[in-house]
Amino acid sequence: MSFKPAIWPRRLRSQEWFGGTGRDQIYHRGWMKNQGFPHDMFDGRPVIGILNTWSELTPCNAHLRDLAERVKNGVYEAGGFPVEVPVFSTAESSFRPTAMMFRNLAAMAVEEAIRGQPMDGVVLMVGCDKTTPSLLMGAASTDLPSIMVTGGPMLNGYFQGERVGSGTHLWKFSEAVKAGEMSAEQFLEAEASMSRSPGSCNTMGTASTMASMAEALGMALSGNAAIPAVDSRRRTMAQLSGRRIVQMVKDDLKPSDVLTRQAFENAIRTNGAIGGSTNAVIHLLAIAGRVGVDLTLDDWDRFGRDIPTIVNLMPSGKYLMEEFFYAGGLPVVLKRLGEAGMLNREALTVSGESIWDQVKDVVNQNEDVILPVEKALTAQGGIAVLKGNLSPNGAVIKPSAASPHLLTHRGRAVVFEDIDDYKKRIDDDALDVDETCVLVLKNCGPKGYPGMAEVGNMGLPPKILKKGITDMVRISDARMSGTAYGTVVLHTSPEAASGGPLAIVRDGDMIELDVPQRRLHLDIPDEELSTRLSDWAAPGDQPASGYAWLHQTHVQGADTGADLDFLKGCRGAPVGRDSH
């Protein structure tokens, strides 16, 4: 931790807009005064942009306007000037073709919203899955002082006396309906019980994982991730974050001071301990790419491999985020990692303190929610990175969400050329498949879908479900919802639409999965593999214009974070030319 606070007072970048009596400054300042801001708000105090992903079509973030008011209170209290600014919002639940296609667009919009406007520091208001990485990416590329406030998870859902987890139970219930074990009426009742308060998914899905990643990276105040959306302490956290960002601007504490290699290692280990989403792999690689930290897919295996999963939350375990909060939340997990020598204790956080100083005194309030290591859900949590002739650049699997008996498996491929092909044939009882087969789904990667949808945990054929079988090996270049489970190999790279070996798998080929050996193998002779690859032709129906074209033309592979090639790196936040 070598950070040295800058000297204060000094002239801030917002003064290029607001300071002085030039025509441009009068123009910038005068128009702002139409909102009733007194003149002394423009006297050189830090201007804090509250970048808000509030949207009524992003239901998980629909309460963020209220929370932003609390941030404003904190900014005012600390002597700053808060301005709330809407930014591109990506709803996991409804954005088509998939919110992931717009993560990079949102990151680009955030970056330029910061760069082009009078702000000295930013508060990133996020919640739903992609909103968290996109704002972190955009802020990292400008490197202006930034702090994250997440919206918090929904309260526990209950149906017929049982806990109902966002997403996790959706998959279970929809398979129960398919298998004839649940009626449509029961399904509707269960649906209503699943989302009973504002907030993001209440499981350790991607939203909770990314909130935990933000905290483990040091980009949010300690304890932020788990506070339920409707708990009064969520508002307190927002207010404290508002106070803190003003001091961060004065100290010039920037994302590049926090988002170090050490911080990413901490986050990878944390992801293993919480049984976090596979989506974190792609997002952290992309965030690292924005600050120039050389993080690779192999680092995920290296740093996550021996981390026991100790957070007993769905989809890997049995509780939900509400209980995680009552047990002490992420600080307890970070303390455990620190005690086990698995935390870079000196990593700096936005608080100005090291991560260890933030967590060293916390106490676990419930050892059935945050388990002792000897009772871990799995001794080897984390994400396993699989390599082989089917995934030369890597593929990932989350062992804690998989069936142990399938982690080593050899089976006959049943191939779907794309998601439409899968939807057309999966329910057909004539499909030649049994539970020992390997379902293969192609053309669902970053370019292929386009956008890399969360379709990798494809539902099983009804005739297999009816036998009482709930898991099979599935392989694709898609992603999987963080709330999902199963023996699902994801992010296979290079993807099929880029001519990766996944593209040339045929029905009847034998596939070998060996997670302990980190191997994914297509059992055909090398010459046959080469011939098939040289005969492969790229799919013809590419978008000709618009953002879909930009995305498909410039998106990189999942193994490096699926960022757009021209957005990688930090470009700073220089003040541009006056516009008048």
Residues that bind ligand FES (CB under 6 A): 60, 92-93, 128-129, 166, 200-201, 205, 207
Query: Given the complex with ligand FES, which of 128 and 555 has the nearer CB atom?
Result: 128
Pairing type for strands 47-52 and 121-126 reads parallel
Query: Smallest distance from the beta carbon of 127 to ligand FES, in angstroms?
Result: 6
Round to the nearest angstrom and report the end-to-end CA distance of the chain. Answer: 43
Pull the structure tokens for residue 281: 């792999």
Residue 307: count other Cβ atoms within 10 Å of its Cβ: 26
* Contact (Cβ atoms closer than 8 angstroms) between residue 163 and residue 319: yes
Amino acid at 505: V
Query: Given the complex with ligand FES, which of 129 and 252 has the nearer CB atom?
Result: 129
The distance of Cα 67 from the centroid of its chain, to the nearest Å, equals: 21
Query: Smallest distance from the beta carbon of 129 to ligand FES, in angstroms?
Result: 5
Q: What would the DSSP string read from start to end of 529-566?
A: HHHHHHH----S----SHHHHHHHHHBPPGGGT--BGG
Pairing type for strands 408-416 and 519-522 reads unpaired
Query: Smallest distance from the beta carbon of 199 to ligand FES, in angstroms?
Result: 8
Pairing type for strands 488-493 and 146-150 reads unpaired
Query: Smallest distance from the beta carbon of 313 to ligand FES, in angstroms?
Result: 14
Taking the C-alpha atoms of residue 422 and residue 4, their distance in angstroms, rounded to an integer, is 56
Query: Smallest distance from the beta carbon of 166 to ligand FES, in angstroms?
Result: 6
Query: Smallest distance from the beta carbon of 307 to ligand FES, in angstroms?
Result: 24
Residue 469: count other Cβ atoms within 10 Å of its Cβ: 14
Residue 372: count other Cβ atoms within 10 Å of its Cβ: 12
Query: Hey, which bits of 265-390 come out as E strands?
Result: 384-388
Query: Given the complex with ligand FES, which of 201 and 505 has the nearer CB atom?
Result: 201
Query: Given the complex with ligand FES, which of 211 and 397 has the nearer CB atom?
Result: 211
Query: Smallest distance from the beta carbon of 128 to ligand FES, in angstroms?
Result: 3
Locus of tokens 């509780």: 319
Beta bridge partners of 163: 158
Query: Smallest distance from the beta carbon of 207 to ligand FES, in angstroms?
Result: 3
Comparing C-alpha atoms, which of 296, 299, 294, 218 is closest to residue 263? 218
Comparing C-alpha atoms, which of 219, 238, 217 is closest to residue 227? 238
Angle between helical axes of 261-274 and 279-291 (0-180°, round to 10) = 170
Query: Smallest distance from the beta carbon of 504 to ligand FES, in angstroms?
Result: 34
Query: Given the complex with ligand FES, which of 166 and 487 has the nearer CB atom?
Result: 166
**Local structure of residue 410 (DSSP, 8 states):** E
Query: Given the complex with ligand FES, which of 241 and 483 has the nearer CB atom?
Result: 483
Query: Given the complex with ligand FES, which of 234 and 305 has the nearer CB atom?
Result: 234
Q: Give the count of alpha carbons within 13 A of 277, CB side only.
A: 29
Query: Hey, which bits of 28-126 come out as E strands?
Result: 47-52, 81-86, 121-126
Amino acid at 276: G
Query: Given the complex with ligand FES, which of 208 and 443 has the nearer CB atom?
Result: 208
Query: Smallest distance from the beta carbon of 205 to ligand FES, in angstroms?
Result: 5
Query: Given the complex with ligand FES, which of 129 and 477 has the nearer CB atom?
Result: 129
φ/ψ of 340, rounded to 5, equals -90, 5
* Contact (Cβ atoms closer than 8 angstroms) between residue 310 and residue 336: yes
Query: Smallest distance from the beta carbon of 93 to ligand FES, in angstroms?
Result: 4
Query: Smallest distance from the beta carbon of 200 to ligand FES, in angstroms?
Result: 4
Comparing C-alpha atoms, which of 88, 92, 99, 90 is closest to residue 452? 99
Query: Given the complex with ligand FES, which of 12 and 211 has the nearer CB atom?
Result: 211
Query: Smallest distance from the beta carbon of 151 to ligand FES, in angstroms?
Result: 9
* Contact (Cβ atoms closer than 8 angstroms) between residue 444 and residue 418: yes
Query: Given the complex with ligand FES, which of 203 and 351 has the nearer CB atom?
Result: 203
Per residue, the 3-state secondary structure of 349-380, as one string, reads: CCCCCEHHHHHCCCCCCCCCCECCHHHCCECC
Query: Given the complex with ligand FES, which of 201 and 219 has the nearer CB atom?
Result: 201
Query: Given the complex with ligand FES, which of 94 and 183 has the nearer CB atom?
Result: 94
